[in-house]
Amino acid sequence: YEKQYEQHWKKLQQQLKRENMEGFRNEFLDMHSYDQAMFFIEQKKSIRLQIYTYLSPEEIADIMESIDEEEQTRDLISEMDPRFASMVLAEMSADNAVDILNEMDKDHIASFLTIMDTSAADEIKHLLHYEEKTAGSIMTTEFIATYKTNTAKQTMQQLKEQAPDAETIYYLYVLDADKRLVGVLSLRDLIVAPEDTKIESIMMEKVVAVSAGKDQEEIAQMMRDYDFLALPVVDFQDHLLGIITVDDIMDVMEEEASDDYSKLAGVSDIDKPNDT
């Protein structure tokens, strides 16, 4: 299997050398975006600059989303042409774009936001307001919400339209006329319901939600306790602001684990014979 992998990489490198854009795209885009990222970060900068001209901002955005180290993604974004980079950021899900921007200085953030398409920029600006390590800072605003008075059929139609841009389609959040979060149902609940069923009759009313200021570590614990794949984030009036998905939480747990590890390493310094 590894051998196959190696050959594949060689083939991709040859296509780049021969400037065979079509061949490269066909082979490269067939791979899973994580594997694309692995190939991508192993290349020299000059090769990466070539790849940027072969792929669309959307295709590059998928690769950037597969890289876990925000510092690394920031460096890649910084080597791109700024206009292209801002399109890449706009194509990423807003929470991930914010994580990367948070690694940059204020002037850089401002310059990216001014050249970005306004709707993406507005969403990012909104998320940048939340304090680091809170629900608001790790949530994404690409969720699916329906109204409690809608039927299953209407909701299914809406789901089809919104699914391509949603972070997860597994849970649908239910709002009342004042746009307050009043229920939730899973995709499974929706699929098995007869078409004319009202959403309010099949939704779960006791919604577990977190406030935007809640600490990310507590949210990780709730995610483990309840075993949901996502949790909704609400403001003090129960308006739905965003969702946090289990993959956001996996990143948090990794981050917290390495923080704890550094703390542990710090503690062990006390044992060292030094000037005390």
Binding site for ligand ATP (CB under 6 A): 171, 184-186, 188-189, 204, 206-208, 228-229, 231-232
- Least distance to ligand ATP, CB of residue 185, Å: 5
Q: Are the CB atoms for 249 and 243 separated by under 8 Å?
A: no
Q: Are the CB atoms for 114 and 219 separated by under 8 Å?
A: no
- Least distance to ligand ATP, CB of residue 91, Å: 28
Give the residue with the Cβ less far from ligand ATP, 34 or 226: 226
Give the residue with the Cβ less far from ligand ATP, 188 or 272: 188
- Least distance to ligand ATP, CB of residue 11, Å: 41
Look at the block and give the residue holding tokens 């409690």.
148
Q: What is the CA radius of gyration of the chain?
A: 22
Residue 87 exposed, middle or buried by CB count within 10 Å (0-12, 13-18, 19+): buried
Look at the block and give the residue holding tokens 């917290």.
256
CB contact set of 129 (below 8 Å; sequence gap of 6+): 136
Give the residue with the Cβ less far from ligand ATP, 25 or 198: 198
- Least distance to ligand ATP, CB of residue 170, Å: 7
For 68, 189, 220, 230, 250, the CA distances from 255, given in Å and listed in that order, are 10, 34, 11, 19, 9
- Least distance to ligand ATP, CB of residue 184, Å: 4
Give the residue with the Cβ less far from ligand ATP, 85 or 185: 185
Give the residue with the Cβ less far from ligand ATP, 44 or 206: 206
